[in-house]
Amino acid sequence: MVVMAEQVARFRTATGEAPAQAATRPGTRLRARLRRFTPEHLLVLVLSLGVLAVHDVGYMLSQPFWNDEAWVAVTTRFPLSQLPETTSSTPIGWSFLVRLFTFGASESSRIVPLAFAGLAVAAAYWLARGLGWRGRADQVVAGTLAGLAVLLVPAMLLRDDLKQYTADAFFALLILALTSRLERTWSRRGLAALSVAVWGGMLFSDVAAFTGVAAIGALFLVQLARRAWGRLAEVTASGAVTAVLMLAVYEAFDARAADALGASTFWDGYYVPLGQGVHASWAFITKMLGHLRVDFGLGPVWLALPLVIVGLVAIFRLGRPATALAIVVLLPEMIVLSALKVYPFGDLRTSTWLIAVTVTVAAIGVAGICTLARQWLRGGALAWVAAVIVAAAAVAGFSAAAAPYVRGHPIPNEDVRDQADYVAKHAAADDVILVNLNSNWGFAYYWPYGQPARRLTTVVRQGYVAYFPDQPRIVVAPNRNLAGVSTALHEALSRIRPGSCERIWLIRSHVIPSEAAAWKVVLAAAHLTAVPVGNHGLSVLQPGGRSCG
């Protein structure tokens, strides 16, 4: 019997039955996963969580939403079924995540851009680390420099508001990292992962499409140049499937956003003036890059450009030609898209991702210089000292450029929240609330009573204004011009009972000069004076005159 038991035990061990049973024991899998958690994983985690130190999180989670954030936040006040109609030019996946992290009428949803900023740091580390450096130390140094570069780049430090620009940076770096991994270890699974990152990323970032096209196109050209017909066929097939899925995502979710973007006249100054000739186009491009130079945090051009070039050379020489080519074509691609008026070029917000990619390449260039220094000095203590000095100088440079922006407060101060809160606490039941056009989304988000609805309009690129149909005392101005302001005031006055002392609370934010002039003219014509209340831009009108004071 003992012999038989021993034979059964040996059989179970040989067939894998015993390990399988052990793996199902409580805590075994967790312990196995913890054993795989290395000091390098801890390093990446610390770098990613560094966003909590370089951003003023308390400020982010308390500063009221300004105009461009408010029409993102207000989507959470409508039913989920209306998300495609309310999300406007923001990717629908981003709006969905905002909904998940919105708790009451708070600014908690700014956790989303903060989280993507941390993910972008991790993606930069992964991209730089996995390029094929010979030694483990070189891999860690490259990853650390790239992670720090993205963590400290001024463009990312300015991204505190509720917009998808940190997600743009993350998906661009993720797609490039997946491209690099595919070049290291070719597999259909790797192609599938790249495909999902591209078309799936489009749900959260428009930039995923641009970076994906560059990456897949670069893979195609490299396999063609190598005459690797088998891989070329796989790239072609994967690219075709990806293109179909990208088109499906675009038609289902992004077409409305593209229309909203194209309808905005704000971006007219960010399109390459191709019709004015080559000289004017080149002058536009150099001007825009000059405006963005400080946001790269790489110092003067004579220093920044060589670092980027060295980084591209390093990526190529480490056996990642498709990754290098994809990065090289990103700038020309965006210039072409700008010339076609598809996507703006030169605005800091829409260029944040391109800046993040650029500083990552520059950090890789620094890592390449460290490696070369050690090779030239043929190892030994002096070689390591030289490499450490180069790396430390780069970190010092990143830190110096970041210093003016660390824990900054870049969100515009347009406080609809406290205006709405003050009115909710002090307005009488029959007082009228007059909301200027661009305050409608913020007011609808912060107003504590009732459920907002949508009124369709072509005046704003969002395609609608939010209003409260069950609260007729709330009047939303239909436009920012003289006619719109006049119509709104007339409607508000019509809801004041003759002889009463009912007041009109005037909520205004994001007021442009022409609108301010219109309000001045209309109020003067009605013999009304807007009396400021509090410190948040709120004012009150008293149609009943001095007798009601």
Of 439, 462, 443, the closest CA to residue 512 belongs to 439
Instruction: Output DSSP code: residue 529.
Output: -
Burial label, 526 (beta-carbon count in 10 A; 0-12, 13-18, 19+): middle
Per-residue pLDDT of the chain (549 residues; tens, 9 = 90+): 334 344 434 434 444 444 444 444 556 665 666 667 788 999 999 999 999 999 999 999 999 999 999 999 999 999 999 999 898 888 999 999 999 999 999 999 999 999 999 999 999 999 999 999 988 999 999 999 999 999 999 999 999 999 999 999 999 999 999 999 999 999 999 999 999 999 999 999 999 999 999 999 999 999 999 999 999 999 999 999 999 999 999 998 877 666 655 556 777 889 999 889 999 999 999 999 999 999 999 999 999 999 999 999 999 999 999 999 999 999 999 999 999 998 999 999 999 999 999 999 999 999 999 988 888 877 677 878 888 898 999 999 999 999 999 999 999 999 999 999 999 999 999 999 999 999 999 999 999 999 999 999 989 888 899 999 999 999 999 999 999 999 999 999 999 988 888 999 999 999 999 999 999 999 999 999 999 998 788 999 998 776 676
Judged by DSSP in three states, 429 sits in coil
Question: Would you say 24 and 378 are in contact if contact means Cβ atoms under 8 Å apart?
Answer: no
Delineate the domains of the chain, giving CATH numbers in brackets.
Answer: 2-35 (no CATH), 39-63+107-402 (no CATH), 416-548 (3.40.50)
Residue-level pLDDT at 194: 97
pLDDT of residue 5: 43
User: Residue 161 has which token pair?
Assistant: 């508001």
Predicted pLDDT of residue 384:
81
H/E run at residue 173: helix 165-184
Q: Which of 107, 349, 353, 87 is nearest to 211 (CA)?
A: 353
Q: What is the reported pLDDT for 6?
A: 46
In this predicted structure, what is the pLDDT of residue 378?
72
Report the candidate in 480, 434, 430, 445 with the shortest Cα–Cα distance to residue 460: 480
Distance CA(279)–CA(420), nearest Å, equals 50
Write down the H helix ranges in 450-512: 482-494
CA dihedral 343, 345, 350, 355 (to 10 degrees): 130
Q: What is the pLDDT of residue 351?
A: 95
440 close to 455: Cβ distance less than 8 angstroms: no
AA letter at 394: A
Instruction: Tell me if 147 sits within 8 A of 122, measured CB to CB.
Output: yes
pLDDT of residue 212: 97
